Structure 1
Amino acid sequence: MPTDDSSGIHCRLDELLVARGMTLTELSKHVGVSLVNLSVLKNDRARAIRFSTLTAICEVLECQVGDLLVTARH
């Protein structure tokens, strides 16, 4: 069994926040998700994400799921 936890999915949250001039703390307040959980997502360490969380992030950042989550390039 591989020890690598990589799902092959990259979260572009950091890039989208920079492009919108928003901090992770601000996003956390807008979507009602803890700063720690958003940080886990931002750093590609999340194993799962609720559709409600994904929807809320996309609404606040005015993006589509495909803008946020992309296939990781190796």
Structure 2
Amino acid sequence: MSAQMLLPPDPAEYRYALYCHSHALGLSHQPRPPVALYRDEQSARLHGVRMWPSAFEVVDLQGEHRP
């Protein structure tokens, strides 16, 4: 696909951030940035459950926080 056909993402459209708690897995001792941003919570949770079933968190960037 040509780069001319790709629209740049609008960060304001991505409300949910997925974080891996790598410290819980013994992989890191420093704070880490989000792994990915999502438009909907369900997609973020599904990705987290598949990748790190017991060591992830989805954060609502518009205010609500749910582990």
The question of a shared fold, defined as TM-score above 0.5 by the shorter chain, is answered with no
Pair member with larger Rg = 2
Higher share of residues assigned strand: 2
More helix by share: 1
Higher relative contact order (CA 8 A, sep 6+): 1
TM-score, normalized by length of structure 2? 0.31
